[in-house]
Amino acid sequence: MNLLITGGAGFIGSHLIWQVIDQPEVTKIVNLDCLTYAGHLENLEGIHGTHPRYLFEQVDLRDKDAVLRVIRQHDITHVMHLAAESHVDRSITGPADFITTNINGTFHLLEACRTHWSDPASSIQHRASRFLHVSTDEVYGSLAPTAPAFTETTPYAPNSPYSASKAASDMLVRSYHHTYGLPTLITHCSNNYGPRQHPEKFIPVIIQSVLQRQPIPVYGDGMNVRDWLYVSDHCQALWTLLTTGKTGETYNIGGQNEQTNLHLVQQICDLIDELDPSLGGNSRSLITFVPDRPGHDRRYAMDTAKISSELRWQPVHTFEVGLRETVSWYLEHQHGARAVTHGFLAEVSRHY
């Protein structure tokens, strides 16, 4: 398997590379990433520049010729496509990059694979290859509090420029399977958490606010619900799907772990109070309600019966264990002067 992972310097992509690089099926992994504000090679310290199976291509998906060059030069047989603009708040304040990267970038990657895998001079028979497209649960829209969870047949109803751009890219992937027979799979996953997540995302925002004794910004009434999944469980699902999933199909992935934002914040406050009493305790007093995100989806919930019955995938981490590991990692990496060992952890940015 000559495996291309796009977005490998990001949060999930870097965990995925750590998890699959030593799998016996893998001949080499090519990490294609242009290193936006969200991409950090520190996430791959110990692999980048040292692992014999690992190669890095600093390429922007928006550069169509460069994408084709990478697919050809490395004779790519399998693709796990994660590179994207991924933060909903940024898509509200500046949607343009979401359109060009998430839609045009995916189009360029599909075209490159179609070209290479159908080229008689290529060593790849396209039936032996796979294109796994990593999408999101947000394409399904928002659920009422007691509505049944999203299934793979729930109609699309994206509400933010981010989810609309992901939905558009899903449609392109679908069409390449239907029209050209490209061996695609599409995944819809719920909210991931774990070490090394970019500091703009909610769980790192909470942890850093508590550590710095700053107000913890909770949008609206804090009653929005997300289904949280530990990142390595997501990566395990992606690998299972790449190797044994059925092409042409879509699969939901989730943690069966719905939490209101307010309850999530309270648990993290209590955990930090327990793990680091030197901070003074009573971290819940930092909780601060702030104006809501425009168009804020109320609830996501995933029905994962398909992946669990067809492929026997289940998350391994309970939320209690995963959250403890995550918070411990941040405490370890930010202790001392409350300084940041990885420079990127300092990049907390508020957008409106």
For residues 168 and 314, give the distance between their C-alpha atoms in angstroms, rounded to a whole number. 28
Mapping DSSP to helix (H, G, I), strand (E, B) and coil, where does residue 25 land? coil
Question: Is position 156 annotated as part of the catalytic site?
Answer: no
For residues 50 and 21, give the distance between their C-alpha atoms in angstroms, rounded to a whole number. 12
Q: How far is the CB of 296 from ligand NAD (least distance, A)?
A: 16
Q: How far is the CB of 56 from ligand DAU (least distance, A)?
A: 23
Of 103, 42, 29, the C-alpha closest to 341 is: 42
Q: How far is CA 255 from CA 40, 148, 346, in A?
A: 26, 15, 29
The correct pick among 18, 23, 28, 36 for binding ligand NAD (CB under 6 A) is 36
Kindly give the residue spans of alpha helices, DSSP state H, lying in the chain.
11-20, 64-73, 88-93, 96-97, 106-117, 161-180, 202-211, 231-244, 261-275, 305-311, 319-334
The correct pick among 20, 80, 84, 182 for binding ligand NAD (CB under 6 A) is 84
The answer to whether residue 105 forms part of the interface with ligand NAD (CB under 6 A) is yes
For residues 159 and 170, give the distance between their C-alpha atoms in angstroms, rounded to a whole number. 15
Measured from the CB atom, the residue of 77 and 191 that comes closer to ligand DAU is: 191
Question: Is position 332 annotated as part of the catalytic site?
Answer: no
Measured from the CB atom, the residue of 180 and 219 that comes closer to ligand DAU is: 219
The answer to whether residue 31 forms part of the interface with ligand NAD (CB under 6 A) is no
The partner in contact with residue 61, picked from ligand DAU, ligand NAD, none with C-beta cut-offs of 5 to 8 angstroms by kind, is ligand NAD
Residues that bind ligand DAU (CB under 6 A): 86-88, 136-138, 190-191, 201-202, 205, 217-219, 224, 226, 261, 293, 300
The answer to whether residue 60 forms part of the interface with ligand NAD (CB under 6 A) is yes
For residues 327 and 321, give the distance between their C-alpha atoms in angstroms, rounded to a whole number. 10
Question: Is position 138 annotated as part of the catalytic site?
Answer: yes
Measured from the CB atom, the residue of 117 and 258 that comes closer to ligand DAU is: 258
Measured from the CB atom, the residue of 117 and 202 that comes closer to ligand NAD is: 202
Measured from the CB atom, the residue of 210 and 218 that comes closer to ligand DAU is: 218
Of 240, 127, 103, 248, the C-alpha closest to 184 is: 248
Q: What is the 3-state secondary structure (H, E, C) of 254-295?
A: CCCCEEEHHHHHHHHHHHHHHHCHHHCCCHHHHEEEECCCCC
Q: What are phi and psi of 332, to 5 degrees?
A: -60, -40
Q: How far is the CB of 10 from ligand NAD (least distance, A)?
A: 2
Residue 339: its H or E element: none
Mapping DSSP to helix (H, G, I), strand (E, B) and coil, where does residue 226 land? strand
The partner in contact with residue 194, picked from ligand DAU, ligand NAD, none with C-beta cut-offs of 5 to 8 angstroms by kind, is none
The correct pick among 13, 141, 161, 315 for binding ligand NAD (CB under 6 A) is 13
The answer to whether residue 301 forms part of the interface with ligand NAD (CB under 6 A) is no
Active site residues: 137-138, 162
Question: Which residues here bind ligand NAD, judged by CB under 6 A?
Answer: 7, 9-13, 33-36, 38-39, 60-62, 82-86, 101, 105, 134, 136, 166, 189, 191-192, 198
